[in-house]
Structure 1
Amino acid sequence: MNDLSIYQEKILSLAAENKKSNAIEDYNRSFEVKNPMCGDEVKVRLKLINNQIEDISAIVRGCALCEASAGLVVKLFKNKEMPSEKLSEEFQSWLNSSDQEIPKTLPIEMDVFRPIKEIKNRHKCITMPFEATVKSVKR
């Protein structure tokens, strides 16, 4: 098994796990992001109390990459402090850079998307759930 297949396995596992989840009903923040180029849609709902994300869901109508990214958002932020407002910008910046190593400012789990760095037209698919999370917190 090569490195790329390990990444693919992790991405597909995240996507499958998120696909089974339901939208939370008890929430006080939400944001929806749509990608008009490919049709992906992400709806993030979260319950934010005292800067803590008590619960979160990220429901996707779209590709496996978007679904996997949404699954990672839920894993990273449920029962955690709200993410930095710069998180989605830093993620996008890393994806566009030639640096292979993930910056220390980003959660190491986001490294699962390293193989996608070379596929520029799929960046939006994996950044949308992070963008929606940050924007829902800001509202």
Structure 2
Amino acid sequence: MSGDTDLIKLYSARILALAADIPHLDRLDSPDVSVKKRSPLCGSTVTVDLQVRDGAIVAFGQDVKACALGQASAAVVGEVIIGRTLSEVEAARQQLKSMLTEDGPVPDAPFDGFEVLIPAREFKNRHASILLALDATLEGIQTYQEQTCA
């Protein structure tokens, strides 16, 4: 019965509410870069479109086909991603991974909304899905910067 209780905690009302209200679900008409990431374990996918100006994300769109945890994570990202820089996205991604895999602290603001996913620490098979939105965004902003610096 403990496993059932853990799953109930994992899919809390807050996680389900985030999953039901993901910001920036429209793809961008003319993105500077688009990246699609897939979790091989569960098949979840997230595609992000970015427009970047002066090193910061100024427009963001995403297509999320993921479990509730991946959707909740994409909602947290979508809520705070506009105005973020490469270094901020890198730090958030590393902090989220540490929170999930090493019992690290919740990512720094503005990414502190990921605290809702602390119960997912015990479910290693869900970590890749949770990281998808940040992984795609990070790859996108890195790709954009590589293209503009080349």
The answer for the alignment partner of 1:97 in structure 2 is 102
Structure 1 segment 1-139 matched on structure 2, within 5 A = 8-18=12-22, 21-78=25-82, 80-84=83-87, 85-99=90-104, 101-104=105-108, 107-139=111-143
Contact preservation (8 Å) 1:66, 1:125: yes
Code of the residue aligned with 1:128 in structure 2: it is L
Matches of 2:32 and 2:99 in 1, distance apart? Answer: 31
The answer for the alignment partner of 2:146 in structure 1 is none
Q: TM-score, normalised by structure 1?
A: 0.83
Unmatched runs of 5 consecutive residues or more in structure 2: 1-7, 144-150
> Which segment drifts farther, 20-29 or 89-98?
20-29
Task: Please state how far the C-alpha of 1:49 moved relative to its aligned partner.
Answer: 0.8
Contact preservation (8 Å) 1:91, 1:106: no
Matches of 2:57 and 2:108 in 1, distance apart? Answer: 22
Structure with the higher fraction of residues in helix conformation: 2
Matches of 2:112 and 2:128 in 1, distance apart? Answer: 19
Matches of 2:48 and 2:76 in 1, distance apart? Answer: 12
Matches of 1:42 and 1:91 in 2, distance apart? Answer: 17
Q: Partner of 2:21: helix, strand, or coil?
A: helix
Map Cα deviations across residues 69-105 of structure 1 (whole Å, 9 max, x no partner). Answer: 1111111112x13242243233112211134x42547
Percent pairwise identity: 28
Bigger Rg, structure 1 or 2: 2
Contact preservation (8 Å) 1:14, 1:68: yes
How large is the RMSD of aligned CA atoms in angstroms? Answer: 2.4
Q: TM-score, normalised by structure 2?
A: 0.77
Aligned residues: 134
